[in-house]
């Protein structure tokens, strides 16, 4: 009798919803921006209640928790008070996505060689993006915000910039360590 080998994956210890392993497709090793967007949209929509129970807001810094990790994707929950923001960064050659769970996020972003653009994302909205996008995200509006983020491949370090003007004309490939 043969036994199926199940792919390894990690889940946040307080997140036990049986739908999450199905959404994670643990056997998928590389996700497209579209697949990542579908994942963050599904998690933000289907698991909104359990995610809100995990949320913490901190006046001194943004709060975050890793929700899941497989060989192909990492999934995060981030909390933002109005005005809290990331530094300008890219995702080290990984594709990514985020969907706003609650509130509103403002984003300034840039593709290499292109102008800086601005966009606002409200609850239920999000975006999937390829490896060449650099951005800075801000908690916008007057209420606390939260968002679900996914990156593939997982565990790729970000690269920070002094400003989006400093993004090179070509984003280098995957950062290793």
pLDDT, tens digit (0-9, with 9 covering 90-100), for 84-115: 999 999 999 999 999 999 999 999 999 888 99
pTM here is 0.91
- Just give the CATH number of 28-166: 2.60.120.10
Question: pLDDT by residue (tens digit) across 149-168?
Answer: 999 999 999 999 999 999 88
Cα four-point dihedral sign 6, 78, 50, 125: negative
Contact predicate 175/89, CB 8 Å: no
**Taking the domains of the chain in order of start, what are their residue ranges?**
28-166
Contact predicate 161/115, CB 8 Å: no
Element (H, E) at 74: strand 74-80
């Amino acid at each position: 009798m043969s036994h199926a080998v199940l792919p390894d994956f990690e889940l946040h210890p307080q997140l036990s919803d049986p739908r999450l392993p199905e959404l994670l497709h643990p056997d998928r090793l590389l996700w497209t921006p579209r697949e990542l967007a579908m994942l963050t949209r599904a998690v933000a929509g289907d698991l909104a209640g359990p995610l809100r129970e995990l949320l913490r807001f901190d006046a001194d810094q943004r709060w975050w928790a890793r929700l899941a990790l497989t060989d192909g994707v990492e999934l995060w929950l981030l909390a933002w008070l109005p005005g809290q923001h990331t530094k300008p960064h890219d995702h080290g050659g990984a594709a990514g996505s985020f969907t706003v769970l609650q509130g509103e996020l403002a984003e300034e972003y840039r593709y290499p060689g292109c102008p800086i653009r601005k966009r606002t994302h409200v609850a239920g909205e999000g975006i999937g993006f390829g490896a060449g996008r650099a951005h800075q995200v801000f908690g916008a509006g007057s209420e606390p915000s939260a968002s679900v983020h996914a990156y593939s491949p997982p565990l790729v370090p970000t690269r920070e910039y002094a400003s989006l003007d400093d993004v090179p004309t070509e984003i280098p490939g995957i950062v290793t360590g």
